[in-house]
């Protein structure tokens, strides 16, 4: 295949009479076909019979979107400018946390976490800042800076966003989940991670005042009859456990939810950082849940994370220590052998874990805000997740076409239920029509 910049150049030369926007669309389509099929510019354009813009675009769209071209409206195809820079590539290294710089606000210096960080990372450069907002004003953000985020730790007192309803998305069936925000940023490198397009801080942010928020006046989840208890969880803007050996947040969280058994609390993770949880011992309402995937997808996309058997062994240990567990098939990624790959993961879960300990399994197909596409192709140039046909949906997100999603959900739902009928299975971010079509 040709490099992105070569494709742009060759498109401009071949179609010199096209304007900027047309060049943008055509070079984007040629790049995506060339990458997916491992072919080059000339092989693709030599097949096109005419140089008329509409003919060229129609030919390329049909080739790029063979399954959906005739099924969906033409504005479903998202064709942003092609702009891939080598220096934006993700740095795939061991997810070991050893920050060079610790930025802190004055109000945290008496906190447990600040003093623990001082003793754990005594060689780091400690810098007082007025506020995160003021720091961001004077320090720009870029993908390259994001790639080095593990070098910077921010310690702040969280004022507003500790506990809130899950933001979910428009026009979907919301499961009334609530979020306890225990940090921002992650050391893993999942190719599909939404944080890489959402986060505007090149560092990890940890709150120093978590204990202030662990009280029943502040933690007020909404009920949902589908689950055994109203649900609160962490893991929206970070992996819930990846920093737990550093923060020891689980000390306060487990203590609080052991005393408040009418609420379930979920630690959502891909990590095996469970030593502190094991020491503390669990209760049924405290659910440790793992994001899982087909093993090929873990290998190709969840860079620097523990493998599937390691995650499942950690789940077994948590059950022995008194916790419940959950699993999230999210995102489900379409690839050649997806049925076989996801079946094997479902089989493996039930080989390791007795279904009576599983409080829920969620399933959600790959989706993303459209702007994330450019970030992914810059950071993970060789990714294959963008090769499938992702279409612009009603809410501006890219998703697989509806009938494909329904096919995936039916398959997953049936496979899981064939293992254990009693385990609650729910869809994340899907509308009522899709929910109804899988039952
Ligand atoms: S469906 Fe998913 S995104 Fe929506 S509230 Fe529940 S967990 Fe959050
Ligand atoms: S584990 Fe979650 S938060 Fe961390 S990189 Fe992967 S998707 Fe992002």
Region of residue 156 (phi > 0: left; psi between -120 and 50: alpha; otherwise: beta): beta
C-alpha 221/C-alpha 216 separation (Å) is 10
pLDDT score, position 162: 84
pLDDT score, position 226: 82
C-alpha 21/C-alpha 5 separation (Å) is 16
State the chain's mean pLDDT as an integer: 95
Residue nearest to atom 7 of ligand 2 (CA): 193
Whether ligand 2 lies within 6 angstroms of the CB of 184 is answered as no
- Ligand 2 centre distance from Cα of residue 237 (Å): 8
Whether ligand 2 lies within 6 angstroms of the CB of 270 is answered as yes
pLDDT score, position 217: 84
Residue nearest to atom 2 of ligand 1 (CA): 428
pLDDT score, position 173: 87
pLDDT, one tens digit per residue, over 13-53 is 999 999 999 999 999 999 999 999 999 999 999 999 999 99
More confident site: 216 or 36: 36
Task: Judge contact between 328 and 289, C-beta under 8 A.
Answer: yes
What's the whole-model pTM score? 0.95
How many other C-beta atoms are found inside a 10 Å radius of the C-beta of residue 402? 18
pLDDT score, position 108: 97
Probe residue for ligand 2, chosen from 92, 147, 181, 186 as the CB with the greatest number of ligand atoms within 8 Å: 186
Ligand nearest to the CA of 242: 2
Ligand nearest to the CA of 427: 1
| 231-233 sheet: strands from edge to edge | 163-165, 178-180, 231-233, 264-269, 286-292, 324-332, 358-365, 425-427
- Ligand 2 centre distance from Cα of residue 290 (Å): 12
pLDDT score, position 235: 81
pLDDT score, position 350: 98
Residue nearest to atom 2 of ligand 2 (CA): 239
Whether ligand 2 lies within 6 angstroms of the CB of 187 is answered as no
Residue 171 confidence class, pLDDT cut points 50, 70, 90: confident
Whether ligand 2 lies within 6 angstroms of the CB of 239 is answered as yes
pLDDT, one tens digit per residue, over 268-278 is 999 999 999 99
Lowest mean pLDDT among 114-118, 156-160, 363-367: 156-160
More confident site: 438 or 185: 185
Q: Is a pLDDT exceeding 80 seen at residue 187?
A: yes
Q: Is a pLDDT exceeding 80 seen at residue 224?
A: no
Q: Is a pLDDT exceeding 90 seen at residue 167?
A: no
- Ligand 1 centre distance from Cα of residue 381 (Å): 30
Q: Is a pLDDT exceeding 90 seen at residue 140?
A: no
Whether ligand 2 lies within 6 angstroms of the CB of 195 is answered as yes
pLDDT score, position 62: 98
pLDDT score, position 169: 79
Rg (CA), the chain: 23
Ligand nearest to the CA of 232: 1
Lowest mean pLDDT among 366-370, 406-410, 427-431: 427-431
- Ligand 2 centre distance from Cα of residue 124 (Å): 25
- Ligand 1 centre distance from Cα of residue 268 (Å): 13
- Ligand 1 centre distance from Cα of residue 281 (Å): 28
C-alpha 224/C-alpha 428 separation (Å) is 14
pLDDT score, position 318: 98
Probe residue for ligand 1, chosen from 164, 167, 168, 432 as the CB with the greatest number of ligand atoms within 8 Å: 168
Residue 431 confidence class, pLDDT cut points 50, 70, 90: confident
Q: Is a pLDDT exceeding 80 seen at residue 160?
A: no
- Ligand 1 centre distance from Cα of residue 436 (Å): 17
- Ligand 1 centre distance from Cα of residue 174 (Å): 5
pLDDT score, position 411: 97
C-alpha 407/C-alpha 363 separation (Å) is 12
Q: Which percentage of the chain shows pLDDT scores above 70? A: 100
Residue 223 confidence class, pLDDT cut points 50, 70, 90: confident
How confident is the model over 344-356, as a mean pLDDT? 98
Residue 253 confidence class, pLDDT cut points 50, 70, 90: very high
Ligand nearest to the CA of 188: 2
Whether ligand 2 lies within 6 angstroms of the CB of 368 is answered as no
Residue nearest to atom 8 of ligand 2 (CA): 193
Q: Is a pLDDT exceeding 80 seen at residue 439?
A: no
Residue 216 confidence class, pLDDT cut points 50, 70, 90: confident
Residue nearest to atom 1 of ligand 1 (CA): 428
Q: Name the CA dihedral angle for 168, 387, 147, 297, rounded to a multiple of 10 degrees.
A: 80
Q: What contacts 112, CB < 8 A, 6 or more positions away?
A: 208
How confident is the model over 90-102, as a mean pLDDT? 94
Nearest to 294 by CA among 337, 223, 345: 345
- Ligand 1 centre distance from Cα of residue 312 (Å): 24
DSSP string, 307-333: PHHHHHHHHHHHHHTT-EEEEEEEEE-
pLDDT, one tens digit per residue, over 110-135 is 999 999 999 999 999 999 999 999 99
Index of the ligand 1 atom closest to the CA of residue 429 = 1
Ligand 1 binding residues, C-beta < 6 A: 166, 168, 174-175, 177, 428-429
Q: Is a pLDDT exceeding 90 seen at residue 402?
A: yes
Q: What contacts 21, CB < 8 A, 6 or more positions away?
A: none
How confident is the model over 256-271, as a mean pLDDT? 97
- Ligand 1 centre distance from Cα of residue 327 (Å): 14
C-alpha 151/C-alpha 124 separation (Å) is 9
pLDDT score, position 35: 97
């Amino acid at each position: 295949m040709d490099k992105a910049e070569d494709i742009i150049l060759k498109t401009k030369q071949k179609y010199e009479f096209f304007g900027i926007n047309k060049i943008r669309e055509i070079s984007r389509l040629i790049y995506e076909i060339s990458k997916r099929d491992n072919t080059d510019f000339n092989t693709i354009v030599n097949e096109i019979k005419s140089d008329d813009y509409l003919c060229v675009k129609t030919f390329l769209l049909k080739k790029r979107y063979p399954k959906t071209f005739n099924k969906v409206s033409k504005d479903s195809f998202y064709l942003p400018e092609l702009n891939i820079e080598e220096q934006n590539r993700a740095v795939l290294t061991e997810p070991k946390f050893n920050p060079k710089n610790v930025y802190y606000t004055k109000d945290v210096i008496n906190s447990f976490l600040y003093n623990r960080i001082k003793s754990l990372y005594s060689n780091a450069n400690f810098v007082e800042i007025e506020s995160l907002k003021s720091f961001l004003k004077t320090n720009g953000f870029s993908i390259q800076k994001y790639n080095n985020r593990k070098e910077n730790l921010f310690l702040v007192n969280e004022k507003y966003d500790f506990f809130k309803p899950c933001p979910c998305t428009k026009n979907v069936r919301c499961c009334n989940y609530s979020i306890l925000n225990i940090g921002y940023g992650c050391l893993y490198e999942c190719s599909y991670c939404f944080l890489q397009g959402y986060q505007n801080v090149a560092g990890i942010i940890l709150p120093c005042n978590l204990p202030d928020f662990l009280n029943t006046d502040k933690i007020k989840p909404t009920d949902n009859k589908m689950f055994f208890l109203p649900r609160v969880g962490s893991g929206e803007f970070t992996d819930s456990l990846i920093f737990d050996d550093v923060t020891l947040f689980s000390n306060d969280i487990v203590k609080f939810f052991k005393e408040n058994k009418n609420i379930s609390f979920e630690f959502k993770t891909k990590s095996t950082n469970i030593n502190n949880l094991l020491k503390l011992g669990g209760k049924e309402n405290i659910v440790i849940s793992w994001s899982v995937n087909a093993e090929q997808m873990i290998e190709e996309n969840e860079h620097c994370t523990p493998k599937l058997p390691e995650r499942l062994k950690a789940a077994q240990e948590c059950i022995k220590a008194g916790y419940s567990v959950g699993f999230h098939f999210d995102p489900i990624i379409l690839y050649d052998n997806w049925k076989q790959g996801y079946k094997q993961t479902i089989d493996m879960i039930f080989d390791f874990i007795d279904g009576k300990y599983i409080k829920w399994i969620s399933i959600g197909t790959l989706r993303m805000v459209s702007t994330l596409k450019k970030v992914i192709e810059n950071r993970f140039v060789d990714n294959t997740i963008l090769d499938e046909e992702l279409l612009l949906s009603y809410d501006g997100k890219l998703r697989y076409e509806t009938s494909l999603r329904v096919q995936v959900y039916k398959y997953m739902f049936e496979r899981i239920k064939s293992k254990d009928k009693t385990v609650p299975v729910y869809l994340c971010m899907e509308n009522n029509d899709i929910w109804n079509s899988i039952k």
